Amino acid sequence: MSTALVLGASGYLGRYLVAELAARGYRVRALVRNKERAEAPDPHGAPALAGLVDEWVVGDIRDPQISRGLSEGACHVFSALGVTHQKASPWEIDFLGNLAVLRDAEQQGVQTFSYASALGVEEGLTAVKRCKYAFEEVLLRSRVKGYISRPSGYFSDLSAIFGMAKKGRVLQIGEGTHRMNPIHGADLAAFMVDHLEGAPAVYPVGGPEVFYAHEIPELAFEVLGTTPRTHTVPFGVAEGAVKVVSKLKPSFQDTGKFILSTMSKDAVGEKTGNRTLREYFLELADA
């Protein structure tokens, strides 16, 4: 039985990676910061990890002791490790954290390192994207075979839009005329586990349906059976607000840039998977 190490196992994608690997008969080693939280259900519908993990490693990736020997005996490493809502430095987590495990994996003779990056990292618009791109560059030169998925947005991120629709009104920046194909965590996890062979590669991936951004709140209201009420903030106004807030609070600058770029640019990857956003919203409505 091959061992697979999952980094970021307690997160939205990480939980689906653990479930997919366990279902395919891998022995799963999971790095988490809090085992009880990882064993409990996740707010976005991703699986609780109780009963799916063979070996828990509990710790923070910034602790140098954690990565030492972490991948011993593993054939594959899967990384969903990164800064999203956590208040932390993407350099320390997305770059140095993944790098520490890659260096250990090289020493331990691990075969593959499968990494969840993000669409558009090569444009380097935000610190998170620059750190992810820097790690991609190192991974592609490693003697461990690197497989990089660059996903569009995850369904989990769209639960915020559904939450606003549930409260009666969705705030939308700009006209919502950019396109995106968000992906379910289970579809991305299956894609990553399916792609462990051949030359190292970079895969821009997204879900099976392409939406104009304004169609997503419309779908949320349709699923809820309520009257669509969308409040549009002109893009220029949002840009101005981000500039002002960033001056007052420099740590917001990157988040602001990230929000503006996701609200204005197409994010469409190769279509994969079969889970639809309507099904996801229906699950949220029933929860």
Ligand X SMILES: NC(=O)c1ccc[n+]([C@@H]2O[C@H](COP(=O)([O-])OP(=O)(O)OC[C@H]3O[C@@H](n4cnc5c(N)ncnc54)[C@H](OP(=O)(O)O)[C@@H]3O)[C@@H](O)[C@H]2O)c1
Provide the binding-site residues for ligand X, judged by CB under 6 A. Answer: 8-14, 33-34, 60-62, 80-82, 84-86, 88, 93, 116, 118, 151, 153-154, 156-157
Of 57, 136, 65, 64, residue with least CA distance to 94: 136
Q: How far is the CB of 118 from ligand X (least distance, A)?
A: 4
Q: How far is the CB of 8 from ligand X (least distance, A)?
A: 3
> Which CB, 160 or 287, lies closer to ligand X?
160
The two tokens of residue 80 are 């969903």
Q: How far is the CB of 57 from ligand X (least distance, A)?
A: 10
> Which CB, 34 or 107, lies closer to ligand X?
34
> Which CB, 4 or 13, lies closer to ligand X?
13
Report the distance separating Cα 248 and Cα 266, nearest Å: 30
> Which CB, 56 or 228, lies closer to ligand X?
56
Q: What kind and span of H or E run contains 212?
A: strand 211-212
- List Cβ neighbours of 53 (8 Å cut-off, separation of 6 or more): 9, 18, 22, 28, 29, 30, 38
Report the distance separating Cα 152 and Cα 193, nearest Å: 18
> Which CB, 237 or 287, lies closer to ligand X?
287
Q: How far is the CB of 42 from ligand X (least distance, A)?
A: 8
Q: SS3 of 161, please?
A: helix
Q: How far is the CB of 132 from ligand X (least distance, A)?
A: 7
Lookup result for tokens 């951004």? 213
